[in-house]
């Protein structure tokens, strides 16, 4: 299957997925059609979780057209849901939904993304990561701990999942973009003690796709994400450490950044655009697509009929230049 055919199939799958699927959500956040293949990240208690007991909370705001907007929080057991394509091509994407570090989306930046990219033959792994404001020790590192661990487990089980362990990308949305950007820059950082042999494997994604990402914790930060990630009155050292644009080492992976100029939630200049500048300054391969309109969180469903709907095709074409999408 050539790339043009694959893209066409992805668009068709997205259109079908976007049709009214107004179904009743279970208490655990499940909707008919969701993947039921869930892989926990940690054996026993996750790092820094002693004494934490959370009961999963899920809400659903069904849109007039039947599109679901689920929000998941109080995550005791982080892991990933596996979305398998009918005809796998050996590629994998770790999909990281957003939600301002207060919750995680189930559909926008989640299920709709998996439905689109599995139609291209890509196996998708939707990350359900712990939220930093829910009592975990070392809160600022909690999402990155889970992202690193997920990458390592996926690599360890690559044959089982039908993917090439070298061709694994990360894709994050909004606060999930902060997680993905942190993974792109800090994939080798020791943010948790190894628990088994899989932790000897690299957590490095081949490429990273950052959609309207939260990036900075300095001036221009998304206040809600910053508050949840760092807590009240963070020190200058804490805000600096979690500002991705300030720490772009040579091991940073190629990054694709897409956002809208009219985003009033996560300001483009101190976030995605600043990160692009930092990447280019350090000679890290990077692409930036700024669309005139789209607001924040356009993903796929809210991008319909707008130029920003082109971002998946642009990512596919760009990733091919870096060896990901053949």
Question: Across the strands, what pairs with 96?
Answer: 172
Q: What is the pLDDT of residues 49-67, one digit of tens each?
A: 999 999 999 999 888 988 8
Residue 139 and residue 225 in contact, taking contact as beta carbons nearer than 8 Å: no
Query: What pTM was computed for the model?
Result: 0.92
Question: Across the strands, what pairs with 169?
Answer: 93
Whether the predicted pLDDT of 28 surpasses 90: no
Using pLDDT thresholds of 50, 70 and 90, give the confidence band for residue 176.
very high
Distance of alpha carbon 100 from its chain centroid, rounded? 12
Whether the predicted pLDDT of 42 surpasses 90: yes
pLDDT at site 2: 52
d(CA 180, CA 190): 16
What residues contact residue 151 under an 8 Å CB cut-off, 6+ apart? Answer: 94, 168, 170, 183, 187, 201, 202, 203, 204, 205
pLDDT at site 144: 99
Residue 187 and residue 140 in contact, taking contact as beta carbons nearer than 8 Å: no
What domains are there in the chain, each with its CATH number? 3-45+54-320 (3.40.50.1820)
Whether the predicted pLDDT of 169 surpasses 50: yes
In the block, residue with structure tokens 């792109």: 184
Q: What is the pLDDT of residues 285-303, one digit of tens each?
A: 999 999 999 999 999 998 9
Could you report how far apart the first and last alpha carbons of the chain are, in Å?
A: 10
Mean pLDDT of 190-211: 98
Dihedral sign for Cα 255, 256, 259, 265, please. negative
């Amino acid at each position: 299957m050539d790339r043009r055919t694959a893209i066409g199939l992805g668009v068709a799958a997205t259109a079908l997925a976007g049709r009214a699927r107004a179904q009743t959500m279970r208490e655990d956040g499940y909707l008919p059609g969701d993947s039921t293949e869930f892989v926990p990240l940690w054996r026993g208690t996750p790092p820094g979780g002693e004494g934490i007991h959370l009961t999963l909370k899920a809400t659903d705001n069904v849109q007039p057209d039947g599109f679901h907007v689920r929000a998941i929080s109080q995550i005791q057991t982080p892991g990933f849901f596996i979305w398998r394509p009918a005809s796998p091509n050996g590629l994998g994407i770790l999909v990281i939904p957003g939600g301002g570090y207060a919750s995680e989306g189930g559909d926008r930046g989640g299920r709709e993304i998996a439905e689109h990219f599995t139609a291209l033959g890509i196996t998708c792994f939707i990350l359900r990561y712990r939220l930093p404001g829910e009592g975990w020790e070392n809160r600022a590192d909690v999402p990155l701990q889970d992202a690193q661990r997920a990458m390592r487990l996926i690599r360890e089980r690559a044959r089982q999942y039908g993917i090439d362990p070298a061709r694994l990308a990360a894709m994050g949305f909004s606060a999930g973009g902060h997680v993905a950007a942190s993974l792109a820059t800090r994939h080798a950082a020791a943010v948790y003690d190894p628990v088994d042999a899989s932790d000897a494997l690299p957590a490095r994604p081949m490429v990273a796709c950052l959609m309207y990402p939260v990036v900075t914790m300095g001036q221009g930060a998304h206040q809600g994400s910053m508050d949840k990630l760092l807590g009240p009155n963070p020190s200058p050292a804490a805000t600096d450490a979690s500002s991705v644009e300030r720490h772009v080492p040579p091991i940073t992976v190629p990054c694709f950044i897409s956002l809208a100029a009219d985003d009033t939630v996560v300001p483009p200049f101190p976030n995605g655009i600043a990160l692009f500048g930092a990447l280019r300054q350090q000679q890290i391969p990077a692409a930036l697509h700024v669309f005139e309109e789209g607001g924040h969180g356009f993903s796929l469903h809210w991008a319909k009929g707008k130029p920003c709907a082109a971002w998946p095709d642009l990512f596919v074409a760009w990733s091919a230049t870096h060896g990901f999408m053949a």
